[in-house]
Amino acid sequence: MIIFDFDGTIADSLGTVCEIYNELAPAYDLVPIGPENLPVLRELGIRKLLKRLALKPRHLPHVLNQGRRMLRERIEAIKPVPGILEQIENLHQSPRSLGILTSNSSENVEVFLNQFGIRKHFEFISTCPKLRGKAKHLSAIARTYSLSPLNMIYIGDEVRDIKAAKRAAVSVAAVTWGFNTKEALSKHEPDWLISTPDELAKLIAS
């Protein structure tokens, strides 16, 4: 089973997410994200990122929930990562199952996938409302589908995706076209580091 993260891995949503964050920032006294600090933020794991943004733990659930609702209003304007749709089509034709594990809402993901005609390729959409907790969800997916973690691959674009997969004993491929940089991802030693959707297809084929 091949399990994808959504934002930054399938959906090219970083610009929209930063835009929404900046709209919410004044209400929570957060540090804005701009061209001058985004490169530094992309080097950070989730704990250091939240500290750098001055996002207090008690505000995090509210910011996430508001952000997801605001994203729903803009989801139809978000495009796929260039080349990813073709690779999802190719992977679907192989004797493997595809799924999604995301911190976004299932509604947002459903709208996006249906818009581009690829919802039918995914067996499930699993949501993890918290920024941490994907490891438990990966283990739950393994139990639900009677899979060994050895027969699963998680594909994500953030350091937290690598950490979650390792905690669940699931192989992980980190893609460099999302939020965290190649250098930040490589420090956490994913099983594979992927720079283009074509490389992803070759990895799965091998």
First to last CA, the chain: 14
Q: Is the dihedral of CA 177, 180, 183, 186 positive or negative?
A: negative
Q: 198: which 2 tokens?
A: 């074509």
Instruction: Just list the catalytic residues.
Output: 5
Sheet holding 171-175, edge to edge: 124-127, 98-102, 2-4, 153-156, 171-175, 192-194
Backbone angles phi, psi at 153, to 5 degrees: -130, 130
Which alpha helices (H) appear in the chain, and where do they start and end?
Answer: 14-28, 38-41, 46-52, 60-72, 84-92, 106-115, 134-144, 159-167, 182-187, 197-205
Q: Nearest CA to 11 among 93, 96, 118, 138?
A: 118
CA distance 94 to 57: 42
Rounded to 10°, the helix 60-72/14-28 angle is 130
